[in-house]
Amino acid sequence: MIERWNRDQVLALAPDASSQKAAQGVSAPGKWSGTGVTDDALWGECKGSGSKPYRACVDLSEPAYRCTCPSRKFPCKHALGLLLLWSAGGVPEAGEPADWVGEWLDGRRDRAAKAVTRAPKGEAGPADARRAAQREQRVTAGLADLERWLGDQIRQGIAGSRRHDQWDDLAKRLIDAQAPGVAGAVSRLGSALDGDDWPGRLLSEYSLLYLLCVAHRTLPERASEAEAAAGAGAAAGAVAGGGGAPAGLLERVRDRIGFSVTKEEVLAGQTVRDLWDVLGRRDETHDRLIARRVWLRGRSSGRAALVLSFAPTGQALDASLVTGTTVDADLAFYPGSTPLRAVVAARHDAVPAGPPPGVSVDRALEEVAGALAGDPWLDSWPVVLEGVVPAGGDLRLLAGASGALPFHPSVQTSWRLVATSGGHPLTVAAEWTPRGLRPLTTWDEEGRVIIL
C-alpha cells in the first residue's frame, strides 16, 4: 500500500495557484461518490455542473491522471481534489478498481508496452548529414562572434553595462546561429546585475561564456589527441585536467551550447536503477515558458539527478514525481561528464518514504567541487545535508559541525524550517547554487516531509 501523501505534497502537483484553490473547492466528501483506492489506483465520481458526474482517476504509482472534465489544466482540479480527499483519509480502500478505472489502467499499460517495443527511428539520411554539417558551421561562426564580442566588452570596459536590454541582439544572433543553449545563458545575464558586486559577477559570467567558446574551439582536437593517446596506452583523462574524459567534457560543452540529445537517444543508453528520493522542485518562468526542475538523489548509488520539463505558462507540467516520496526507478542520464539531467526510463513498485540519507556540510562541498570539475558551467546541484541547524543573525545559514552554508540572497528566512528545527539538528535537502543554497525540503522528528 502506498503511503498517503500529505496535503502539501498534493498541492505541489497543481499547475498553478488557482488550481490549488479550485482543488480545495472540490475536495469535500459531499462532492464525491463511488470513490475507492487500491495499491496503485485512486478514483471517484465528482458532481459537476452537468448532469453526468466527472470521472477522475489517478494512477498512484506514476502518478498519472485522467478525468472526463474538459479542463486543459493538468492535473485538473478534480484529480487534485480527489487526491486531497484521499490525503485526508476520506477514500475507502477497495479490493479491485472500478470497471472504468480498470479499463483505463489496462489501456495505459498496453500503450506503455507498445512504446517500449516501438522500433527506433531509421538511420539518418544524407539530407540530415548535410543539415548537421551546416549547423556545425553556423554554431562555430556564432561562437566566434560571441568570443569576439566578449573580447570587445573587456577592451571597452564593462562599466556601462548596467542595462538589461543590451544582450537582446547578441542572444538573437546566437539563436540564428542555432546555439540556443548559449543564447539562453546570454539572455539571462541580466540576473548578474543586481547587488553592489555586479561588476565581479558579470565578469565571472562573461569569463564562463568565454571558457565555453574556447572549449568548443579547442576541445574536439584535444579529444581526438586523447583518443590517440589512449590508443597508444597512455592514461586518458589527464588532458582534461582530471575532470572526466575529454569526450565526456565535449558532450557537456555541446549540451551547454544547445546540441540537444533526443529523449529516445537517452533512453537507449544505460540506465541506473536505484531508490530515488524526490527532494523537491523549482519552477522558473522565462519568456512565457516554465521550466520545472525536479531534484532526485539515489539511495544506494548516491547519484544526483535532475528531471527537467518545460511547458508554456498555464499548461501541463510533468507532475509525476511527488516531493518527499521515494521511487524505485530506472533513470537514464543525458551523456557528458558530471551527468545530472535524467529521464525516468521505468518505474517499479512504490516504496515507503522517509528522510533520505544526508552528508555533512564539508562532504557536500566536496561533492559540488567534484561536479564542477566535470562541468565548470554547473550552476545548481542537489545536496542533502544531515545534522544542520538554522543559524546566523537572520537565520539564513545552515550550520553543521565544521561551519555553515548561506542561503541564496533571494531566499528569505524560512520560518517553517526554523520552527521544525527548534534549534535541533535536522536533515535538509537543498539546491546548491554558486551564490548560496535554496532550501527545498526537510523532515520533522516524526519523519514527516515538510516542503519549504
Cβ count within 10 A of residue 225: 12
Stretch that binds other proteins, among 162-170, 181-189, 210-218, 293-301 (CB under 8 A): 210-218
Please identify, among the stretches 152-160, 261-269, 317-325, 340-348, the one whose residues bind other proteins according to the rule CB under 8 A.
Answer: 152-160
Phi, psi of 439, deg, nearest 5 = -65, 140
* Window 9-28: residues binding other proteins (CB under 8 A): 11, 21, 24, 27-28
Per-residue binding string, other proteins, 308-347, x by CB under 8 A, is: ----------------------------------------
Q: How far is the CB of 221 from other proteins (least distance, A)?
A: 18
With respect to other proteins, which residue has the nearer C-beta, 107 or 370?
A: 370
- Part of the chain binding other proteins (CB under 8 A), chosen from 93-101, 147-155, 218-226, 244-252: 147-155
Q: Is 207 in the site for other proteins (CB under 8 A)?
A: yes
- Alpha-carbon distance of 345 to 231, in angstroms, equals 34
Binding mask 48-67 for other proteins (x = CB under 8 A): --------------------
Binding to other proteins by residue 133, rule CB under 8 A?
Answer: no
Smallest separation (angstroms) from other proteins to the CB of 192:
12
- Residues from 420 through 449 that contact other proteins (CB under 8 A): 420, 422-424, 434, 444, 446, 448
Distance of alpha carbon 74 from alpha carbon 209, whole angstroms: 37
Name which of 67 and 85 has its Cβ closer to other proteins: 85
Q: ∠280-381-181 over CA atoms, to 5°?
A: 105
Residue from 44, 246, 376, 382 in contact with other proteins (CB under 8 A): 376
Per CB under 8 A, the list member of 113, 116, 129, 158 interacting with other proteins is 158
Binding window for other proteins (CB under 8 A); candidates: 163-171, 249-257, 320-328, 387-395: 387-395
- Interface with other proteins includes 369 (CB under 8 A)? yes
Q: Which of 137, 156, 224, 260 binds other proteins (CB under 8 A)?
A: 156
Which of residues 175, 193, 230, 399 is near other proteins by CB under 8 A? Answer: 399
CA dihedral 152, 157, 158, 161 (to 10 degrees): -80
**SS3 of the chain:** CCCCCCHHHHHCCCCCHHHHHHHHHCCCHHHEEEEEECCCEEEEEECCCCCCCEEEEEECCCCEEEECCCCCCCCCHHHHHHHHHHHCCCCCECCCCCHHHHHHHHHHHHHHHHHHHCCCCCCCCHHHHHHHHHHHHHHHHHHHHHHHHHHHHHHHCCCCCCCCCCCHHHHHHHHHCCCHHHHHHHHCHHHHHCCCCHHHHHHHHHHHHHHHHHHHHHHHHHHHHHHHHHHCCCCCCCCCCCCCCHHHHHHHHHHHHCCCCCHHHHHHCCEEEEEEEEEEEEEEEECCEEEEEEEEEECCCCCEEEEEEEEECCCCCCCCCCCCCEEEEEEEECCCCCCCEEEEEEEEEEECCCCCCCECHHHHHHHHHHHHHHCCCCCCEEEEEEEEEEECCCCCEEECCCCEEEECCCCCCCHHHHHHHCCCCEEEEEEEECCEEEEEEEECCCCCEEEC
Closest contact distance (angstroms) between CB of 29 and other proteins is 7
Beta bridge partners of 351: 326
218 binds other proteins (CB under 8 A): no
Q: Nearer to other proteins by C-beta: 218 or 300?
A: 218
Q: Is 162 a residue that touches other proteins (CB under 8 A)?
A: no
- Could you say whether residue 114 binds other proteins (CB under 8 A)? no
Q: How many chain residues are in contact with other proteins, going by CB under 8 A? A: 68
In the complex, minimum distance from the CB of residue 393 to other proteins, in angstroms, rounded to a whole number: 7
Which residue from 3, 392, 409, 410 is in contact with other proteins, where contact means CB under 8 A? Answer: 392
Could you give the string, one character per residue 65-104, with x where binding to other proteins holds by CB under 8 A and - elsewhere? -------------------x--xxx---------------
Q: Which residues bind other proteins (CB under 8 A)?
A: 6-8, 11, 21, 24, 27-30, 84, 87-89, 150-152, 154-159, 199-200, 203-204, 206-208, 210-211, 214, 361-362, 365, 368-369, 372-373, 376, 389-393, 395, 397, 399-400, 402-406, 415-416, 418-420, 422-424, 434, 444, 446, 448, 450
